[in-house]
Amino acid sequence: MKQEQLDKLIKKRSPNLGGARPGAGRKRKMEEYELIEKLSPMADVAFSKLKELIAKGDVKALQIFMSYYVGMPTQKIESKIEGNLNQVSIEVLKPTMEKVA
């Protein structure tokens, strides 16, 4: 290919490939603090409502409380891989030790 053809192909490429995108990534710390400030006045109401629901025996409210207070239980993930590696057989040899007298 000639240099002119390569230049044309490069110019045709979409400018949106790769790179940063608006709204991507973690929120700034300032945004998190602002959100916490907005929600803080409602914390007492939310906790009292949660307390009422737990007292009534609401299982979902109890699950939410326990997941934050105690933590989520560890989850086991099992994976099973089956297959052959070109049917290579591996033989394990144990050395024999003889007592020399």
Residue 52 pLDDT: 94
Predicted TM-score of the model (pTM): 0.43
Note the Cα 34 to chain centre separation in Å: 25
Give the whole-angstrom CA distance, residue 16 versus residue 33: 32
Tokens of 13: 């490429």
Mean pLDDT per 10-residue section of the chain, whose length is 101 residues: 77 67 76 87 92 92 88 78 66 67 53
Give the whole-angstrom CA distance, residue 60 versus residue 83: 43
- How many Cβ atoms are within 10 Å of 64's Cβ, its own excluded? 14
Distance from the first to the final alpha carbon of the chain: 80
Give the whole-angstrom CA distance, residue 43 versus residue 90: 63
Residue 88 pLDDT: 63
